[in-house]
Structure 1
Amino acid sequence: MTTQTLPSASLIKRFAAMVYDSLLVMAVAMAYGAAYVSIKYAVFHTDLPTGERAKMGTEGFVGLILVVECFFWFFWCRGGQTLGMRAWRLQLRQTNGQFASLPQAMVRGLVAPISLALIGLGYWWRLWDKEGRTWHDIASHTQVVQLPKNKKS
């Protein structure tokens, strides 16, 4: 099934899926932070000055961004859905109906935060695009589509 046969996902459902996914991303970020700080201070015996909090530093922050990006890349390439997207029956696809490739997921993962950071302008663009695409849809040559409801027998 190509993306032309399925409707583009609405902004409300995209944002709802983002809320679900943000909860998962927070859990992943907390687990990463705990693991990183534990390794930094326990394994490498980095001294923590008295009264100072454990810090990840620049390298830890870069690692966190990479872990969050990998979270999305994995799900977009393997089934086209994060858990939040699955809850709202949304799926990321190429125009030919295939799931996103890793380079497409990477482009999408880099452009989507910019789309959101600019007061959501990259998302609001969907309202003017004839095909209902956001900036990151256009940049990655993918589209988030609304899947039909499953018919129960």
Structure 2
Amino acid sequence: MSDTTITTLSSAKISKRLAAMLYDSLLLMAVSIGYGAVALAIKVNVFGETLLEGEKASLGPIGFIGWVIVLVAFYCVFWKKFGQTLGMKAWRLKVTDIHGKHLSVSQGLRRCAWASLSIATLGLGYLWLLVDREQLTLHDRLSATRVWQLPKGR
């Protein structure tokens, strides 16, 4: 995306961002179930742990850290390679750096970290968009990124 293209696009509205997040959450549920199955299979078959009758599976702290890494990798890979997750593509949204270029890995990681805090604070980082003069979320500002609304047909 060039600088001239950027000037013709508007920032994505909060409703579209939330719709894309909902779509992506469905994909991430499937990814999480797959991750959990593989991690539990490794825990039982490779490390020989057994579950007692009626015991619920627990991945433990290492399994949790691996799950977080998988979720962050999902976003960072899609953002770096395509500028969009599948949910963003469905709603015609694209994330770039402030110059319209694909995100770097470090920007993707910063964006994930700040977006997590935006959600953890009851969505205040997202609601920031409602008062920001450029309609940026707090994590957009802190990671030097921007989410654009693409026109139909792109």
- Residue aligning to 2:137: 134
Tell me how far 1:150 sits from its aligned partner. 1.4
Give secondary structure in 2 for the equivalent of 1:18: helix
- Residue aligning to 1:12: 15
TM-score w.r.t. structure 2 length? 0.93
Question: Aligned pair count?
Answer: 151
- Residue aligning to 1:89: 92
* 1:111-142 Cα shifts (integer Å, max 9, x gaps): 10110121211001011111111011011100
Please give the root-mean-square deviation of Cα atoms over the aligned residues, in Å. 1.2
AA of the residue aligned to 2:97: Q
Match of 1:146 among 139, 146, 149: 149
AA of the residue aligned to 2:44: Y
- Residue aligning to 2:117: 114
Give secondary structure in 2 for the equivalent of 1:27: helix
Query: What percent of counterpart residues are identical?
Result: 47
Q: Following the alignment from structure 2 to structure 1, what is the Cα–Cα distance between the partners of residues 71 and 124?
A: 22
Structure 1 position 73 matched with structure 2 position 76: yes
Q: Could you tell me whether the CA contact under 8 Å between 1:89 and 1:147 is conserved in 2?
A: yes
Q: Could you tell me whether the CA contact under 8 Å between 1:108 and 1:140 is conserved in 2?
A: yes
Structure 1 position 55 matched with structure 2 position 86: no
TM-score w.r.t. structure 1 length? 0.94
**94-103 vs 51-60, greater mean Cα deviation:** 51-60
Tell me how far 1:4 sits from its aligned partner. 3.4
Match of 1:99 among 102, 109, 115: 102
**14-23 vs 48-57, greater mean Cα deviation:** 48-57
- Residue aligning to 1:43: 46
Q: Could you tell me whether the CA contact under 8 Å between 1:4 and 1:95 is conserved in 2?
A: no
Q: Could you tell me whether the CA contact under 8 Å between 1:79 and 1:99 is conserved in 2?
A: yes
* 1:6-34 Cα shifts (integer Å, max 9, x gaps): 10000000000000000000000000000
Structure 2: give runs of 5+ residues left out of the alignment. Answer: none
Tell me how far 1:90 sits from its aligned partner. 0.1
Q: Following the alignment from structure 1 to structure 2, what is the Cα–Cα distance between the partners of residues 61 and 91?
A: 29
Give secondary structure in 2 for the equivalent of 1:143: strand
Tell me how far 1:50 sits from its aligned partner. 3.6
Q: Could you tell me whether the CA contact under 8 Å between 1:95 and 1:142 is conserved in 2?
A: yes
Q: Following the alignment from structure 2 to structure 1, what is the Cα–Cα distance between the partners of residues 57 and 130?
A: 44
